[in-house]
C-alpha cells in the first residue's frame, strides 16, 4: 500500500498512480497481517457483489476476478461491508 501512496516524484507505472495523481487521497482502510493474491481476490469479489459498477480490468491483471476500482454508492456503509479487523487511516490532515 505504501508504494502506491508515495506519489511525489514517482514514475507512473500502475493505473492507481494515474488515479492518485488526479485527486486527493483522504484516507485508506487497512487490514494488517493479510496479503497475497487470494486475499486480494476475495476482497474484490466481496466488494463487487455489493458494488457492481467497476472499471474493467482495473488492478486485477495479476489476480483475475472483479475490478479493484469500484464506485461507492452513498447508501453503502463501507466500514460495515468490510467487516471487523479493518482500520481507517485518515490521510487528510498532516
Per-10-residue mean pLDDT of the chain, 94 residues long, equals: 58 68 78 84 88 78 79 87 89 75
Reduced to 3 states (helix: H, G, I; strand: E, B; else coil), residue 41 is helix
The single residue listed with the C-alpha cell 479487523 is 85
In this prediction, residue 93 carries a pLDDT of: 73
- The pLDDT of residue 3 is 54
Number of helices followed by number of strands (H, E) in the chain:
4, 2
Residue 30: helix, strand or coil by DSSP? strand
- Taking the model in full, what pTM does it have? 0.68
DSSP type of residue 91:
-
Amino acid at each position: 500500500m505504501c508504494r502506491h501512496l508515495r506519489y511525489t516524484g514517482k514514475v507512473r507505472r500502475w493505473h492507481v498512480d494515474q488515479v492518485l495523481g488526479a485527486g486527493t487521497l483522504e484516507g485508506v482502510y487497512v487490514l494488517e497481517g493479510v496479503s497475497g493474491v487470494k486475499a486480494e481476490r476475495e476482497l474484490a469479489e466481496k466488494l463487487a457483489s455489493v458494488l457492481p459498477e467497476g472499471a474493467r480490468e482495473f488492478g486485477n491483471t495479476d489476480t483475475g476476478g472483479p475490478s479493484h476500482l469500484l464506485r461507492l454508492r452513498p447508501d453503502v456503509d463501507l466500514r460495515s461491508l468490510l467487516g471487523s479487523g479493518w482500520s481507517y487511516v485518515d490521510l487528510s490532515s498532516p
